[in-house]
Amino acid sequence: MQERDRVRGNDIGPAGKTVGDRVRRVRESLEWTQHDLSRVLTDRGRPIPVSSIGRIESGQRKVDVDDLLALALALDVSPLSLLLPFTQRWADYIDTDTIGTQVPALDVWRWALGVAPLGEASSNDFSDVANATRDFQLRSYPWWLEVDADINHRMLEIDRRFPSPPLAPGEKPDPLYEGDDGSA
């Protein structure tokens, strides 16, 4: 009998790598060590060893749904803030094989929040698009919850008039966001 190589499933994809990067960014913004995060997780009943946190942050360990929820609770953030990248601008494209295309960050966040389906509308008829959006929302969250997530138009207008200048020499970028520091 010939021995077969064991297939362990899919490799860690872009979303998994984003989770690791976001866990690291949020943890560092709290000025926590990996040991601190491990201790908080253990205290909350979902122990993740320090070495595993390091592997999560470096994109070498998958995070299951239960771990994702425990990490979000421990870091005091929404699970979505660990799943989706924080871009510098709402119009920055998120390039991910998980979605299969480049999509503006605002569209991805609105989709993840259950506000609007992801992708181009297949109809030029406004009522078809409105019905598709309503149906998407009905499937995305409970009937008793209203979610309204859109861009802050006042901040966008300020950004259009006064674009953010490049970082001055020695100035540190906001570590929660991607881009200015050259990291993914």
Is 1 part of a structural domain of the chain?
no
Q: Give SS3 for 132.
A: helix
The predicted structure's pLDDT at residue 150: 66
Residue 1: what pLDDT?
43
Helix 34-43 to helix 50-57 angle (10° resolution) is 120
Strand partners, 19: none
How many CB atoms lie under 10 A from the CB of residue 99? 16
**55 and 18 belong to one structural domain:** yes
SS (H, E, C) 139-170: HHCCCCCCCCCCCCHHHHHHHHHCCCCCCCCC
| In a shared domain, residues 32 and 109 | no
155 falls in which pLDDT band (50, 70, 90)? low
The predicted pLDDT at position 167 comes to 66
pLDDT tens per residue across span 164-181 = 666 667 777 777 777 654
Instruction: Give the domain-ending residue among 68, 83, 98.
Output: 83
pLDDT of 62 reads: 95
In a domain, 9, yes or no: no
Residue whose structure tokens are 């609770």: 73
Work out whether the CA dihedral 7, 8, 12, 13 comes out positive or negative. Answer: positive
Residues 125, 141, single domain; the answer is yes
In the predicted model, what is the mean pLDDT of the chain? 83
Say which CATH number the domain at 38 has.
1.10.260.40
Q: Is 76 within the bounds of a domain?
A: yes
**For a pLDDT cut of 90, what percent of the chain falls above it?**
41
148 is written with which tokens?
Answer: 């309204």
Higher-pLDDT residue of 67, 173: 67
Residue 163: pLDDT band by 50, 70, 90 thresholds? low
Which of the four pLDDT bands, split at 50, 70 and 90, describes residue 182? very low
Distance between CA 82 and CA 68 in Å, rounded? 8
Distance (Å, rounded) from C-alpha 51 to C-alpha 28? 16
| pLDDT band, residue 33 (cuts 50/70/90) | very high
Q: Which residues contact 117 (CB under 8 A, 6 or more apart)?
A: 111, 132, 133, 136
Mean pLDDT (whole number) for 62-82:
97
Strands (E) across 48-154 are located at 93-96, 101-104
Domain membership of residue 112 as a residue range? 87-184
pTM of the model: 0.79
pLDDT in tens, 2-31: 445 545 667 888 889 999 999 999 999 999
Whether 2 is in a domain gets the answer no
Assign 83 to helix, strand or coil: helix
Q: How far apart are CA 117 and CA 32, in angstroms?
A: 36
Residues belonging to the chain: 184
What is the pLDDT at residue 45? Answer: 97
- pLDDT over threshold 90, residue 73: yes
Backbone phi, psi, residue 15, to 5°: -65, -40
Residue 91 sits in the same domain as residue 176: yes
Q: Which residue has the higher pLDDT, 126 or 112?
A: 112
Is residue 95 domain-shared with residue 184, that is, in the same domain? yes
